[in-house]
Structure 1
Amino acid sequence: MSCGVFAGEARLYNVEQIREIEARALAHQSEITLMQKAGLATAGLAAKICVNTQYPILILAGPGNNGGDAYEAGYQLSRQGFKAVCLMCGAFEKYSPDAQAALQRARNAGLEFADLHTLLNTRSQNWSLIIDGLFGIGLKRAPEADIARLINFMNRLASEKAIPVLAIDVPSGLNADTGQPVSHDSVLIQASHTITFISNKPGLHTGSGKDYAGKITVNTLDISDDFFPECRSHLNERTSLLRILKPRKQNSHKGSFGDVIVLGGAKGMAGAAILAARAAQYAGAGRIYCSMLAEAPAYDSLHPEIMFRQAGEISLAEATVVIGPGLGTSNTAHALLRSAIQTAQALVIDADALNLIAADSKLQALLHDRSTPCMLTPHPLEAARLLNKSVAEIQNKRLHATLELARKFNAVVILKGSGSIICDADGKLYINTTGNPALASGGTGDVLAGAAGALLAQLSNSMDAARIATWVHGHAADVLVKNGTGPIGLTASELLPQIRLHINQLAYQTSAGA
């Protein structure tokens, strides 16, 4: 029996699109159903994960087709010689015909069935693996009563006994589109692995999805590409970034790689502007100016290559301007921002500059009407201010909020956070695959803004610059943590050499750091 391939998949489709693809495929499916293929794929991955076969595999089968996939997986595991115990959490008569057939095959194969209340009161039982087939992508409300108790129980048991948990399609309780719980009070299965079918889902890679999905495997169930619509959302992965930055020609000079002006650094916040300027240096800009609202230092003793100016003393017309790090919200800051929006050759807007725009409809109109490259780098609170929404509303619809911002301001937007989202005004969207909690510290946003400005100066393409900046910024943190620096206590400055390294690796197409 064929079951497709276990492979990474950069395309992202939402639940509505997945349903349409599935409907087309079902109309043309062979004698081997999609549910059988899903069950076989789940069993195959379960066998690889289940290294300790001393104990049985526990299968949680819910009331819908996700439960049918679970029964099919149990049937396949039994055929392969694994001892499996199934907890049936749905009524037979309410299952689809395919799910009923899967359940019957599991029973005929001798699969053992457990009792929910007995299971919830047996803490001493150990399992080689727990398979979560409770709820799939169609869940609309939070699991309740005994099922909620079951999810909490399984999470505790898996944590206490180090039991791997394999979620089928999506961890139960997680919204596959948003990456958030299906409701504010929803419990979620904590998976160590997720096998997701037909295509990858956005919610597995942003918001809480990155905390609950674990290692993700995509299986297309052998569905032909002819059944897939045009894809506008993808993962922001290393392979897709190769060859955007070109190796530098020998006949180059500092003017070949653009000027970056970092505009910010009000009194008490000079460090933010200096961090952004240093990041622009490490990310490859030809010349870097740090234009300060506070009294500008004579030079940066760590990086004397950076040139300092007082704010307002340098023309913005021929440079890429990074405005916002340490800018403040004074009248002077407002005037400088207005000037930057009107005159800068290219623009990266961060931090306080975003807050000033959120409070001024005239600045918003000026920004929308710009015809030259522009990038916004808000965190969720800044995004909420820009859209006059709550942070919860932004986080509950991260993809939609990023698209709304991009269209409102005619810019490429990086909505920062777990699974940062990059989107342009045409609706082309990427979810970043790198980064970790080490980036949740002061100054890392300034570093991202500076790196984005340097890349924008070199590429003149806002989307390419945003994608590379976001990826290398997160990957720098990933490598540092992997090598023992952080995540607790990692500083923004420590990212800089790693950012330089990974930008060079992308430009020169090496395999290192993959």
Structure 2
Amino acid sequence: MTPLATATPLYSIAEIRAIETAATQSLPQGVLMARAGQAAASAALKILHHLSDGDAAHMRVLVLAGPGNNGGDALEAAAHLAGSGIEVLVWLAPEAASTSPEREQAASRARNSAARFIDGATTMASSAINAAPWHLIIDGLFGIGATRPLTGVCGEMAQLVNQQSCPVLALDVPSGLHADTGTVEGVAIRATHTITFIGDKPGLHTADGRDHAGEVEVAALAIAPALLPQAGAQLNGVHLFARHLQPRRQNTHKGSYGSVAVLGGATGMSGAPVLAARAALHAGAGRVTIGFPDAPLAYDSGQPELMCRRARDIDFTGLQFGALVAGPGLGGDTDSVELLQRAIDSDSALLLDADALNLMAAEPELQSALATRSGAGATILTPHPLEAARLLDMTVAEVQADRLACARQLAAQLGVIVVLKGSGTVIAAQDGGVVINNTGSPALSTAGTGDVLAGLCGSLLAQGWPEWEAALGAVWLHGAAADALVASGAGPIGLTAGELIPALRKLINALSA
């Protein structure tokens, strides 16, 4: 089994501010900024050494220093880099009416170094960018305290930086990216690397964050662990569900690994439940049945092990099915509503996806039934942003503006586990706990991959995984299988949902060995 990683907590802006306040009470003025600058310089040197095969001499670095403490971190980094023999040019963004004493100290150190300076208030951003062919640009314009979009000369600078081909190192967060939500209003700097201070931030890993943060490194700044609270969010990883990835015992049979029923496949949409069912089977379920609302397929010629039946003839009472996966290609007619109601009334673990979510949004009584299902089996919802918006009576833009908050709201509202799909999928529990997934890529942006995820998660539920671990494991494995295919050259462009299924089987077996 793969060695377990440690948990990576994700701290909100408010949590980071509270940690900073507590830490500075016992530290001399400016110590945290000095530590941040040193960590930033070390990260920059590592990038430069990689570019130059270990010899960073004669490398040129452009440092963008904003008017606040993020700019102070950049100035500290500039002083360290200049002292290392790097050619450093500091572009000073137009300053606010006053700056902190710590930033003034950092500015003094930078000005006493060999770094050169350009005043952004009097010199165009393009002049700094065009001053030399840069090997690295350090973004220290605005950090987690930014409350408005990048405009004026800073907005112009961000656009110019995004046109460069050299690496970009963002300090704490890329300027223009919201540290809590991962959203961008207007323009934000697209970094290849981010060194984030004190603790990791959720916005670096979801929504626009994954396109802007690049590789993320955390610099804890030697803050005492006792000052770090329990974070409200964390990154997904194998360590969160590894205890369920175990070698199979010899003395077992198909009944040992659970039965899954996939409900869906209205006329013209039979491929959706077939994908889900195949994923469930390849992920280890002992037996998989597809329940079609209309006339069933005679059999699946590509996977004849699957049983194809009319859904109305399937008995959902008792626990003959470890999990029901309802929704892939289910359709929206009256029979589908009745079928979904039967699934909700069952005692089986339940995963609702696609058309099941659309039916719930249109039929409030289904939501009420789901909210009172606490005495029955586990329940997981896997909406994409539009489906979540319908259930929350919001717009897609409102959901995407704060994915963590919306996933939490929906989980609490319905008393379920919610998997809000998208870049940096958010998994939310009923108690407000949140995990952001960091596997997967645009390779998954193709029809049918959500059906595969639904079948995979249903399979884990049927095999006895608790609902929280099943959701975490399914989302992580789904993304990691796509990553493995991309690494082998099969994507990201043109990857198909069907290709994920054998890759999932291979990955699960490797992790369970």
Query: Does TM-score exceed 0.5, indicating one fold?
Result: yes
Contact in 2 for aligned 1:148/1:187 (Cα 8 Å): yes
Q: Which of 149, 158, 162 is residue 156 of structure 2 equivalent to?
A: 149
- Asked if structure 1 preserves the Cα contact closer than 8 Å seen for 2:125 and 2:156, the reply is no
Which residue is 2:412 aligned to?
Answer: 407
Could you tell me how far apart the structure 2 residues matched to 1:92 and 1:212 are? 26
Q: Which residue of 2 aligns with 1:3?
A: none
Tell whether the 8 Å contact from 2:29 to 2:102 is kept in structure 1 after alignment.
no
SS at match of 2:336: helix
- Give the whole-Å Cα distance in 2 for the aligned partners of 1:9 and 1:316: 38
User: Does residue 364 in structure 1 map to residue 370 in structure 2?
Assistant: no
- Out of 107, 120, 134, the residue aligned to residue 103 of structure 1 is 107
**What is the CA-CA distance between 1:395 and the residue it aligns to?**
0.3
Contact 1:261 1:316 in 2 (8 A): no
2:167 to 161, 164, 169: 164
- Paired residue secondary structure (1:312): helix
Matches within 5 A, 1:297-312: 297-312=297-312
Matches within 5 A, 1:78-97: 78-91=82-95, 94-97=98-101
Match of 1:73 in 2: 77
**Matches of 1:257 and 1:30 in 2, distance apart?**
59
Partner of 1:511: none
* TM-score where L is the length of structure 1: 0.94
8 Å contact kept, 1:57–1:85: yes
The reply on whether 1:120 has 2:126 as its aligned counterpart is yes
Contact 1:8–1:218 under 8 Å retained in 2: no
Are residue 476 (structure 1) and residue 481 (structure 2) matched? yes
Alpha-carbon distance in structure 2 between the residues aligned to 1:373 and 1:99? 52
Q: Which consecutive unaligned segments of at least 5 residues does structure 1 have?
A: 1-6, 509-514
**Could you tell which deviates more after superposition, 74-83 or 205-214?**
74-83
Q: Which moved more, 1:424-433 or 1:60-69?
A: 424-433
Measured in 1, the distance between the counterparts of 2:109 and 2:283 equals 58
Query: Which residue of 1 is the match for residue 259 of structure 2?
Result: 259
Distance in 1 separating the partners of 2:460 and 2:499: 19
* Contact 1:64–1:90 under 8 Å retained in 2: no
1:8: Cα distance to partner?
8.4
* Cα pair distance change 1:238/1:195, threshold 3 Å: same
Query: Structure 2: how far apart are the matches of 1:272 and 1:143?
Result: 43
- The 1:67/1:9 distance shift into structure 2, 3 A limit, reads farther
Q: CA deviation at 1:153?
A: 1.1
Query: What pairs up with 1:333-344 in 2 under 5 angstroms?
Result: 333-344=336-347
> Contact 1:21–1:228 at 8 Å: present in 2 too?
yes
Match of 1:423 among 428, 440, 463: 428
Percent identity (aligned): 48
Quote the offset at 1:90 in angstroms: 4.1
Select which of 329, 333, 352 maps to 2:332.
329
Matching of residue 228 in structure 1 with residue 228 in structure 2: yes
Task: Give the Cα separation in 2 of the matches to 1:224 and 1:101.
Answer: 24
* Secondary structure class of the residue paired with 2:443: helix
* Secondary structure in 2 matching 1:449: helix
Name whichever of 233-242 and 414-423 sits farther off. 233-242
Mean CA deviation greater in 165-174 or 30-39: 30-39
Amino acid at match of 1:21: I
Deviation at 1:30, TM superposition (A): 4.8
Give secondary structure in 1 for the equivalent of 2:244: coil
What amino acid maps onto 1:100 in structure 2? E
Pick from 41, 44, 53: which aligns with 1:43? 41
Number of the residue aligned with 1:295:
295
- Please, what is the CA RMSD of the aligned residues? 1.6
Deviation, 1:483, is: 0.8
Quickly say closer, same or farther: Cα 1:456–1:269, change in 2 above 3 A. same
Whether contact under 8 Å (1:9, 1:200) holds in the other structure is: no
| Aligned pair partner of 2:492 in 473, 477, 487 | 487
In 1: Cα distance, 2:372 partner to 2:325 partner: 18
How far off its partner does 1:240 sit?
3.2
1:453 aligns with 2:458: yes
The Cα shift of 1:55 comes to: 4.1
| Distance (Å, rounded) in 1 between the aligned partners of 2:388 and 2:448 | 18
User: What's the secondary structure of 1:252's corresponding residue?
Assistant: coil
- 1:438–1:488 CA contact under 8 A, matched in 2: yes
Report deviation, 1:231: 2.1
**2-structure distance, mates of 1:9, 1:81:** 37
Secondary structure of the structure 1 residue equivalent to 2:502: helix
Match of 1:16 among 2, 14, 17: 14
After TM superposition, give the deviation of residue 460 of structure 1 in Å.
Answer: 4.2
SS in 1 for 2:9: coil
Matched AA of 2:34: Q
Q: What is aligned with 1:271?
A: 271
CA contact (8 A) 1:61 1:90 kept: no
| Matched length | 495
Task: Find the residue that maps to 1:395 and give its secondary structure.
Answer: helix
Q: Which moved more, 1:69-78 or 1:226-235?
A: 226-235
| Range that drifts further, 236-245 or 342-351 | 236-245
Asked if 1:191 corresponds to 2:195, the answer is no
Unaligned runs of 5+ in 2: none
The alpha carbon displacement at 1:504 in A equals 2.0
Distance 1:252 1:400 in 2: 43
Distance in 2, Cα, partners of 1:131 & 1:115: 16
Cα shift readout 1:281-303 (whole Å, capped 9, x = no counterpart): 01111110011123212221111
Question: How much has 1:83 moved relative to structure 2?
Answer: 1.3
Name the CA distance, whole Å, in 1 between partners of 2:511 and 2:420.
Answer: 23
Please report how far the alpha carbon of residue 155 of structure 1 lies from its aligned counterpart in structure 2 after TM superposition.
Answer: 1.1
Contact 2:324-2:458 within 8 A present in 1 as well = yes
3-state DSSP of counterpart to 1:505 = helix
* Cα deviation code 1:377-418 (max 9, x no counterpart): 000000000000000000001000001111111111100000
Offset at residue 131 of structure 1 (A): 0.1
Out of 350-359 and 30-39, give the one that drifted further.
Answer: 30-39
1:381 to 2:386 alignment: yes
Shift of 1:76: 0.9
In the alignment, the residues of structure 2 paired with residue 250 and residue 225 of structure 1 have an alpha-carbon distance, to the nearest angstrom, of: 45
The reply on whether 1:507 has 2:505 as its aligned counterpart is no
- Structure 1 residue 110: Cα displacement: 2.8
CA distance in structure 1 between the aligned counterparts of 2:464 and 2:225, rounded to whole angstroms: 33
Change (3 A) 1:165 1:360: same
Asked if structure 2 preserves the Cα contact closer than 8 Å seen for 1:420 and 1:431, the reply is: yes
> In structure 2, do the counterparts of structure 1 residues 132 and 145 end up closer, same or farther at CA, with 3 Å as the change threshold?
same
CA distance in 2, matches of 1:404, 1:92: 38
| Aligned position for 1:201 | 201
Q: CA deviation at 1:154?
A: 1.4
Per-residue deviation, 1:137: 0.5
For 2:269, the aligned partner's letter is M
The CA distance in 2 between the partners of 1:377 and 1:499, in whole Å, is 18
Separation of aligned partners in 1, 2:279 and 2:510:
17
